[in-house]
Amino acid sequence: MHCSQTIVITGVTRGLGRALTEKFADLGHVVAGCGRDENRLSELRDKPGSPHSFQSVDVLNGPAVGNWAKFVLKQYGTPDFLINNAAIINKNNSLWKVPEEEFSKVIDSGLKGTANVLRAFLPAMINVGRGIIINFSSGAGRIGFPQIAPYCAAKWGIEGLTKALAQELPRGMAVIPLSPGPVNTEMLQSTMGEKTATNYHSPKEWVERAAPFILNLTPADTGKSLSVY
């Protein structure tokens, strides 16, 4: 039985972020989340509602992320868990056919957005010398899959960024590149097609394993490439 934890999550409006938010709230933890879909954020403000907080923040906007972090730190104190989930994927295409702008958006969201959130929250977490950071990786970032090369590159980047950061953090903290495994989300449907994606667990099924897995991570896990299966 875990005592109540403060958990910060990006990309809470859909998919894995939404499932984790609702599950952690059900378990009695306090969630401070951000996303870009105001309608879905309003749904979360209604349920689970207070004492949780859900704000409209684009993780690519460094100053906005900084302001959000200041609010969260003042309102809730230093988070016990910081989960970088926000990311986008390109439309299926061979690498040389992916438009430059689309390629940049995928890399920026997956890598620069994560770095912005880390930059905003890490000083406070380092100051107290505790906290578990999860940067969502993917099998795509460890193996590579055709048609989604920009996404693979972003997730390979998450692996490297996370392993480097693990060597910079003080003892008592952890940062982990965590692959959720294949889950039937909108992102997987865009890659595999809706019919094939139904072969995999829904986010609500996945989160029954993922939430306790995350809550049981410790500083001893820092830098390890882990997976939820």
Alpha helices of the chain — where are they, by DSSP H? 15-26, 38-46, 62-76, 100-107, 113-128, 149-166, 186-192, 194-197, 203-215
How many Å apart are CA 147 and CA 196, to the nearest integer? 16
**Helix/strand/coil for 83:** strand
User: H or E stretch including 131?
Assistant: strand 131-136
How many Å apart are CA 24 and CA 205, to the nearest integer? 14
Check if the beta carbon of residue 177 is closer than 8 Å to that of residue 154: no
Residue with tokens 């309608």: 39
| Residue 146 DSSP code | T
Greatest C-alpha distance within the chain: 50
Vertex 33, ends 104 and 62: CA angle to 5°? 40
Which of 76, 151, 200, 229 is an active site residue? 151
Residue 200 designated active-site = no
Check if the beta carbon of residue 79 is closer than 8 Å to that of residue 8: yes
CA atoms within 13 A on the CB side of 130: 9
Active site residues: 151
